[in-house]
Amino acid sequence: MRRHAPLDSIPADARSAAIALGNFDGVHRGHQAVIASARAHSAHLGVALFRPHPRRFFQPDAPPFRLQTESQRERALAALGVKDLFEIGFNAGLAKRSDEEFARELLHDRLGVSHVSVGVDYRFGRGRMGDAARLRSLGERYGFSVEAVEAVKGGGARYSSTAVRAALAAGDMSKAASILSRPWAIEGMVQRGFQRGRGFGFATANVPLGEYARPRLGIYAVRVIMDGASLPGVASVGVNPTVGALPAPLLEAHVFDFDAELYGKTIEVEMITFLRDEAHFADIEALKTQMADDAAKARAIFA
């Protein structure tokens, strides 16, 4: 998959694509339906998305909310057969464009698209002035077709990034995975910590949460993906209240039966099952006993 950054020139062979247009944070089942719609119109499949995410532009102080890193999203899109990823720089100038200016200058002039698929509730242009019907009429004017894809539902509820975030906040990893079509995973570079876990017999790979939406704080059964291997383990997402509260929640993953050095390595941790809430223990011995119990429960899940 080729990635075209906001200021890149678009090569001739990347034009005339059928594109899915949106934010695609999570690339969940609803997003996948929009992408499948675009794929049905052309073998030359593209995705156009905004960078930074519009929410971060309009709400710079909003709490972390992302479901994926850029690299995770790119891998998910490539797996769906996307050939060209077009990044649209979201800035004050774009926010002021009318719906027609967006269609003409971005979709027609810059990308030269042949087709655009969007979710049925898609809005665009200054003040969200345009909707899917308006995009269809503009497409007729500027030479591209448009399809508005109905929301995908499961269990009577609409699949959405908001629904994934709600599931994560509740610790319902099965629901999050059902919406995403895969386990939710945190990716990042392992940083050096205080190495307290090593002294307890539970060495951990510590990964900052960064812009990720915060899941329910507590203990999880996890799978750690690194160097092409998927290894079972147990992880904490929290601030370590017993041994000295951290300034921000941290992912601390312990890989079963593994003792290689991981500092500086990028890993991906799939959050499989929530085991219990984060808790404060009276002393280190009580914490060690609970950690052993957590590990036993996680091993049983993977047995």
Check: pTM over 0.85? Answer yes or no.
yes
Model confidence band, residue 198 (pLDDT cutoffs 50, 70, 90): low
Task: Please tell me the distance from the alpha carbon of residue 48 to that of residue 130, in angstroms, as a whole number.
Answer: 17
Residues 254-277 have a mean pLDDT of: 94
Map out the domains of the chain with their CATH numbers.
Answer: 2-154 (3.40.50.620), 183-302 (2.40.30.30)
Considering just the CA atoms, what is the radius of gyration of the chain in Å? 22
State the pLDDT at residue 17. Answer: 98
Dihedral of alpha carbons 43, 185, 254, 261, sign: positive
- State the DSSP string of 133-172: HHHHHHHHHHT-EEEEEPPPEETTEE--HHHHHHHHHHT-
Task: Please tell me the distance from the alpha carbon of residue 272 to that of residue 256, in angstroms, as a whole number.
Answer: 15
Question: Which is nearest to 50 in space by CA: 106, 100, 101?
Answer: 106
Residue type, 119: G
The one-character DSSP state at 15 is T
Question: Which is nearest to 70 in space by CA: 109, 116, 25, 17?
Answer: 25
- pLDDT tens digits for 20-53? 999 999 999 999 999 999 999 999 999 999 999 9
| Residue 273 exposure: Cα atoms within 13 Å on the Cβ side | 13
- State the DSSP string of 200-256: TT---EEEE-TTBPPPPSEEEEEEEEETTEEEEEEEEEE--TTT---SS-EEEEEET
State the pLDDT at residue 283. Answer: 86
Residues 130-145 have a mean pLDDT of: 98
- pLDDT tens digits for 211-230? 999 999 999 999 999 999 99
State the pLDDT at residue 143. Answer: 97
